[in-house]
Chain A
């Protein structure tokens, strides 16, 4: 009787003690813990890191020169003549081409994402922070761009400006910032009414300082999530325009343009069409899962 009472007291005491010293966990640590609990997001992180490493070390990993033509080996099936994933219509090694194509596709993905984030953040924060006429002009322009299907804009611009690594990157970046701008604008509209922003203003802080010190850090979570999801979208966009022939130009390989003529070789060499698509899907899916996990991890409303 008495022992169990003591036990209860101790347990109660422990509980009180725990209440008194709450575990101090920094927001970033908490985000990391929540993120890792998300199994799919972790898998997405691992797969995307592997893909990035494979692209970085493509020259070391590729068994052959991706551009080396060898007519005798044309349409070599996977696992024959030393071609692990087979050879294409002019006998180029598919593994090597996929590795080098991954460099291009991922490079475009990351660089276009950077453009999207810079433009989207600037337009969104300016519109929301300044409000009034600036907001009206910027947001009507954003709305108007959102009326066009992105692929239509991408194709027209790519056809007119001409395809190069730089132009494709800019085109993708400049046609996908609108949604981020809209979200950030709404956040900035509420943020600018907050007491600490008003206090800063009353103390004579400049607009630039307020944006840098308050707007940007408070929207960083949104921006990081958007950045991750945008890599996925940019990789997808590059594959679409390259598949349709207006993106990365052969002989340089990208996952999209490797599928360019794949349909004509269906009966002889279906593997040419299979592997690039699998890699695009894998890449896009892992960045999507990563972004989804980040969103859950950084969501301040969700507890635990």
Chain B
């Protein structure tokens, strides 16, 4: 088990280096380089631009720039935003709680609903309700999240006036839990819909597999209560693949969050990313890319640890 975990940590570290290198390389693709924002100013002279390049270290070879930037990331110096000169770390960390609030709520909703639908479907495969759930999941996977969000806003905010049309809280009203929840419901459900679909499909498939196993038949033959068979025997064994799914799904979740945040003007990292794109704020863009990738790597690692914890077969390796 220890060997397995050490190997996984090593792989993750390598992945981290690759991911940061890709993000770094991507930013070099920017037209005119990162200093192009300054070149836009009409009063800018060529020698000033050269000085700016030098002060950013842009005149040095790429690998040195990368090492400098990477050590900066490690020591908490993530550079400054081009837009308002605030430290990138603060700009991003300000937005992390909003994104986590949205994504965790959506994921929790999706897991509860999706797993229930998936287990019920696996218990009665090819029944009318299973068929409907399968079609529903496929349709949910095909709806563009932003459009679904627009429709929800149109119906429930414009027409019925049940929910606010965006934002995380009523501005200037001070903190109130009910106000926060009121704002959270719609975006979380919109983001959660696609996730419900993936969770129910995946749970159904995994459960169908475990329910056909010999140990489930043995448990039934011994007269174990059906509820116990389903949850303690079949579902417990399906838990490993489901935990892995939670880890793998994270990039997808952040992508969905970006779109949902844009539609519902939710002040999270995704919206920060879209805004920074408009301002060509490269340090912030790179910061968000790296932070999401780190979160993805970390949660995949965590998922593997948890799987090893619940599944003794992996612990033995």
Q: Which residues of A contact B (CB under 8 A)?
A: 40, 140-141, 143-153, 155-157, 159-162, 232, 236, 239-240, 243-244, 246, 256, 259, 262-263, 266-267, 270, 273-274, 276-277, 280-281, 284-285, 288-289, 292
Contact = CB atoms under 8 A, between A and B. Distances in A.
B61 interface: no
Contacts of B125: none
B184 to A, nearest CB: 20
Contact of B144 (A156, A161, A162, A240): A240
Contacts of B50: none
A146 B15 CA distance: 10
Given A148-B251, A159-B277, A246-B277, A277 B144 contact: yes
B147 A281 contact: yes
Contacts of A144: 15, 18-19, 22
B4 interface: no
A303 B281 CA distance: 56
The 4 closest A-B pairs by CB, nearest first: A277-B147, A149-B255, A285-B142, A144-B18
Interface residues of B, number: 45
B292 A259 contact: no
A141 B18 contact: yes
A146 B251 contact: yes
Main secondary structure of the interface of A (DSSP, over half): helix
B292 A152 contact: yes
Interface stretch (B64-72, B116-124, B133-141): B133-141
B254 A152 contact: yes
Given A266-B154, A273-B154, A277-B150, A152 B29 contact: no
Contact of A281 (B139, B153, B259): B139
Contacts of B30: 160
Contact of A155 (B144, B251, B273, B297): B273
Contacts of A280: 143-144, 147
Interface string B267-280: 00000011001001
B206 to A, nearest CB: 17
A246 B30 CA distance: 14
Given A244-B262, A280-B147, A149 B14 contact: no
A217 B185 CA distance: 49
Given A155-B274, A281-B142, A147 B262 contact: no
A288 B15 CA distance: 32
B285 interface: yes
A244 B14 CA distance: 33
Nearest to A144: B18
Contacts of B145: 240
A288 B146 contact: no
A234 B285 CA distance: 24
A240 B274 CA distance: 12
A157 B142 CA distance: 24
B258 A148 contact: no
Contact of A277 (B135, B151, B258, B288): B151
A232 B280 CA distance: 30
